[in-house]
Structure 1
Amino acid sequence: MTAVHESVLDAIGGTPLFRLARLGAGIAAPVYAKAEFLNIGGSVKDRAALSMILAAERDGLLEPGGTIVEATSGNTGIGLAIVGRQRGYRVIAGVSDRSAPEKSDILRAYGAEVVLATTAVPREDPAHLFNVARRLAEEVPGAWLANQYDNLANPDAHVRTTGPEIWEQTGGRVTHFVAGVGTGGTVTGTGGYLKQASGGAVTVVGADPESSSYGGGDGSPWFVESIGHFLHPGTIEDRRPQAYRSEVVDSFERIPDRESLLTARRLAREEGILAGPSSGTAVAAALRVARRLGPDDLVVVLLPDSGRSYLSKVHSDTWMREWGFLEEPGETAVRAALEAADPLVAVPADATVGEAVEALRAAPGGVAPVALARAARPFGVSATELMGSVSREALTAALAEGAAKPDDPLGALVGPALPTVGVGQSVAEARAALAGRAAGGGHPAVLVLVDGRVAGVLSGEAFAD
């Protein structure tokens, strides 16, 4: 019989498991996906949102007619908007400017007010998303900051609902649970419950972006939203969320962006599951785990959200090509030019003018990207951490004219960032990027992206007929 609910809030939870028969073909251990995108708001965060609001009401932190404020990559804000508006609250969502634009549109559709802010600055910076949200909560009368990262009602939602559901759905046969780690609430609550229910027999695996510091990466940016732990080089104190208990996670699988994004696309094409990129990370990790297991094991992987929020990103061929994640057969011209190019030279943002001139002696075309110090390593810097470009010609002229000295900081002489082209794009697109689309366009070179990171610098000569 089809369920009948008195409110959409009653439809939060109770999501099904789907066996990944095609992606898991040839693997002895069965892999089942927990379809959290079937929650009413389209993500696992509906559970945490309901739990946090009910707890705040019980504790007297959220009173009738009050305002809910939260910093979010999108999904928690959507859950808070649905639950909050149903219960008569105003909702203000501070959203990361790196989040897919669809999420802000969805938030507004549910009646939330959206404030965009950056996360690409040190945590202590007043402009950081978390500080913007905290400031709003202090300034708005009757406001309550949900603070999903440190709110223990977040993992408690999964102790009470997600964990017991998986245990019951598998008849207690689950041996491995795989989930991404963002706030840590889902993996802590669900994993903790499954460990307790199984007497410690269930293994909990964190699926993490390769550069996330949770699993041992350097904390530099990645392209999968809503999971991982980013660490800006300028951050003074690296705080882990209180909702995350590291002792629950037995091990991590570190998944590169390309593997995550292509796995998310495979889920749609092969399993009929339109899920987001973090689901790709989790499934890629689950398949790795399952390949090491036998037929008596059973893997459950949690799919956090719907791919409908990422149609402009991971599920867009254009976006995937522009960032160098997708290469169609036959479209190899930019790839060929990259392979024939000189090695990439990147100049750290904290270099002196003299150091930059020396580095530029080996730079293709005498021009190089300027990157945060952490990212200035040979053959690959994070495209999201580029600060601009610098040319040997400009620096030499500044030194000759006395406008700069060798020991001066480079910062004042950094020019605009070079345009980018994905390794899977065509020569025509590369030429268009070189020509420039803005008034007075024309650039000395383009940066070539492979898997979202700069892999080379190419001048117009590389694309000459």
Structure 2
Amino acid sequence: MYYKNILEVIGNTPLVKINKLNPNPKVVMLAKLEFMNPGGSIKDRIGLPLIERAEKMGRLKKGGTIVEPTSGNTGVGLAMVAAVRGYKTVFVMPDKMSEEKRNLLRAYGSKVVVTPTAVSPEDERSYYRVSDKIASENSNSYKPDQYSNPANPETHYRTTGLEIWEQTEGKITHVVIGMGTGGTISGVGKYLKKKNPKIKIIGVDPVGSGYDHYYRTGKMPKLFKTYKVEGIGEDFLPETMDFSVVDDVVVISDKESFLIARQLAGKEGILAGGSSGLALAAARKVIRKLKTGLMVVILPDSGKNYLSKFYNDDWMRDFGFLDEKNETIKKLLNKKLHFITVQSAATPAEAVKLMRQYQISQLPVVENKKVVGTLTESILIKSLYGNSKIPVSVAEIMDRDFISLPETASETQLAQALKEKEMVIITDKQGKPLDVLTRIDFLSNFSV
């Protein structure tokens, strides 16, 4: 069996059980991995329907140009269609989107125009208005406009909603979906409500977007706050957003979104984007309140487009998303292979031999399996050279004033300790020594 082209591969993405990050094992939590689509996101689904609608209406002709405002993923979906059907593409993106996304679109042969993020939709510099201008100034060009095109929610009604219903054998009780254009939640919600009106449709909105305010008041807020999560939330109400199928809206911050996405990779082996972290963070809040059920959370795209952003520790620190107080030193211990010690009764020469053998410059000194001191190169030099009396044992020269920290200590605590001592003894919860960390171990944790 083979497919005639890449577009036939789109859809039928798998449901995968969330285990470690599900805080309520009484309720099954399943993640729909939309990054398994060939272009890497849920937006692959709407690319072909948007273009087929234009072709049927006579709006897009052979050799024409597709112009679209996008956070990146819809652009990829359209770019794949353009490659197969022979169209040109121009995509307009806000400047907060990752460089990986821009380069990805260029890899498909698309032209990318970057616009300011922190402007209103009506501003001439917004990616909505710039795309309008480009489309109007170029003959034989067409703007599908995912924000108003009915093919957007219709696609999710026909495919995504249907798949979820069939994959769960109709047992689904809750679905959690991030709200961007509104196409996914509107289409999926409409289909599932038709199948079973009792199914709860939960929308997720980032802090700074206007959807939650609109859901609760019927009006968009007058003031908006910029946020870092990409491809989600809005500062206006798209025609493709249907709140009649939404049962509740949960608001999630940038920090929550990014930290949960990172945990998803580290604990479940699923590398997903920030909007996936946002959806999963909301799902975790909702599922805690349930007694029974089966929840599906949609993960829209892959984390590969965000390696330079929230998967990068320096980027996270720059924006204050990594709470250093919660960053323990455990990850530094994983890099150490051996806990090398020297007995207090050993000679200095034996200590030097150990240092040479393992290419280390510090040693914990133990006696009866307990750390009683530390030994460094500087101590050995001072003791062995220039002194009339050569020490017989390590115990005579070791530094008894050492510092120990539990493995749960923060990086900040370690940094403070290493300002005073060249090495710090790390212990487990029971006080048993596990390892030593040196200044170079700590500094190696930072990219220079």
Matches within 5 A, 1:191-206: 191-198=189-196, 200-206=197-203
1: distance between equivalents of 2:297 and 2:190?
15
TM-score calculated relative to the size of structure 1: 0.67
Pick the aligned partner of 1:276 from 270, 273, 277. Answer: 273
Pick the aligned partner of 1:208 from 205, 208, 212. Answer: 205
Which residue in the other structure is 1:251 paired with? Answer: 248
Q: Would the alpha carbon gap of residues 59 and 323 (structure 1) be closer, same or farther in structure 2, given more than 3 Å must change?
A: same
Q: Does residue 1:264 correspond to 2:269, yes or no? A: no
Pick the aligned partner of 2:68 from 62, 67, 70. Answer: 70
By how many angstroms is 1:331 displaced? 7.9
Q: What are the Cα deviations for residues 379-429 of structure 1, in whole angstroms up to 9, with x where unaligned? A: xxxxxxxxxxxxxxxxxxxxxxxxxxxxxxxxxxxxxxxxxxxxx999x9x
- Given that 1:327 and 1:425 are in contact with CA atoms closer than 8 Å, whether structure 2 keeps it comes out as no
Which residue in the other structure is 1:313 paired with? Answer: 309
TM-score calculated relative to the size of structure 2: 0.70
1: distance between equivalents of 2:205 and 2:7?
30
Which residue in the other structure is 1:366 paired with? Answer: none
Matches within 5 A, 1:388-427: none
Which residue in the other structure is 1:390 paired with? Answer: none
By how many angstroms is 1:191 displaced? 1.1
Matches within 5 A, 1:23-422: 23-198=21-196, 200-216=197-213, 219-230=224-235, 239-295=236-292, 297-329=293-325
- Given that 2:89 and 2:110 are in contact with CA atoms closer than 8 Å, whether structure 1 keeps it comes out as yes
Which residue in the other structure is 1:372 paired with? Answer: none
SS of the residue 2:159 aligns to: helix
Q: Would the alpha carbon gap of residues 330 and 302 (structure 1) be closer, same or farther in structure 2, given more than 3 Å must change?
A: closer
SS of the residue 2:11 aligns to: coil
Q: Would the alpha carbon gap of residues 140 and 298 (structure 1) be closer, same or farther in structure 2, given more than 3 Å must change?
A: same
1: distance between equivalents of 2:143 and 2:117?
18
SS of the residue 1:204 aligns to: strand
1: distance between equivalents of 2:190 and 2:59?
27
1: distance between equivalents of 2:16 and 2:73?
22
Gaps of 5+ in 2: 214-220, 329-410, 416-448
By how many angstroms is 1:328 displaced? 3.4
1: distance between equivalents of 2:208 and 2:138?
37
By how many angstroms is 1:153 displaced? 0.4
1: distance between equivalents of 2:58 and 2:34?
30
Matched AA of 1:69: V
2: distance between equivalents of 1:122 and 1:209?
17
SS of the residue 2:38 aligns to: coil
By how many angstroms is 1:171 displaced? 0.1
By how many angstroms is 1:318 displaced? 0.9
- Given that 1:188 and 1:244 are in contact with CA atoms closer than 8 Å, whether structure 2 keeps it comes out as yes
SS of the residue 1:206 aligns to: strand
By how many angstroms is 1:210 displaced? 2.4
Which residue in the other structure is 1:412 paired with? Answer: none
Pick the aligned partner of 2:10 from 9, 12, 16. Answer: 12
1: distance between equivalents of 2:327 and 2:147?
43
2: distance between equivalents of 1:138 and 1:26?
52
Matched AA of 1:225: E
What's the C-alpha RMSD, in Å, of the aligned pairs? 1.9
By how many angstroms is 1:118 displaced? 1.7
Q: What are the Cα deviations for residues 189-237 of structure 1, in whole angstroms up to 9, with x where unaligned? A: 0111111111x1111000111232101275311111111123xxxxxxx
**How many residues were matched structurally?**
324
2: distance between equivalents of 1:72 and 1:172?
33
